[in-house]
């Protein structure tokens, strides 16, 4: 159990266009999902926390109007990178917290989306 999928796995887009990334928990309900950004050989940088049915909580320095997050259901959260620029090129990873588990703390990560903006 605890599988998280992410789509697409890779995307190349032109500068100025928008890209939507989907994150799904396949076999459990996730009231909370997280969006991270990871640069090559670097750690995970939390961008925002997405709660089902409410507005996302963005970390300091992350533009909420540029990185739109929607968590419409207990199994789906989306991240839309609007008006993408080359500096937005990165590896975006989502994770979901399985709130029904006894521990309820660990996060299950999706396989990530490699975004390249040309």
Contact footprint for another protein (CB under 8 A): 32, 34, 41-44, 46, 49, 93, 95, 103, 105-112
Collapsing DSSP to helix, strand or coil, 97 comes out as strand
- Residues present in the chain in total: 118
Q: Yes or no: say if 17 and 84 are a contact pair by the CB < 8 Å rule.
A: yes
Give least dist CB 110 to another protein, A.
Answer: 7
- The CA-based diameter of the chain, rounded to the nearest angstrom, is 45
Long-range pairs, 46-51, Cβ under 8 A, ≥24? 47/79, 50/77
In the bound state with another protein, the residue whose beta carbon lies nearer, of 71 and 110, is 110
Give least dist CB 13 to another protein, A.
Answer: 21
In the bound state with another protein, the residue whose beta carbon lies nearer, of 63 and 106, is 106
In the bound state with another protein, the residue whose beta carbon lies nearer, of 32 and 75, is 32
């Amino acid at each position: 159990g605890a599988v998280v999928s992410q789509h697409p796995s890779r995307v190349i887009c032109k500068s100025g266009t928008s890209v939507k990334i989907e994150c799904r928990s396949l076999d459990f309900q996730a009231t909370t999902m997280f969006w991270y950004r990871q640069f090559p050989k670097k750690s995970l940088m939390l961008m925002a926390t997405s709660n089902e049915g409410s507005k996302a909580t963005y970390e300091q320095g992350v533009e909420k109007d540029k990185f739109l997050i929607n968590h419409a259901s207990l199994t789906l959260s989306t991240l839309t990178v609007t008006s993408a620029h080359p500096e937005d090129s990165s590896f975006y990873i989502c994770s979901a917290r399985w709130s029904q588990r006894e521990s309820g703390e660990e996060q299950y990560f999706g396989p990530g989306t490699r975004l390249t903006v040309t």
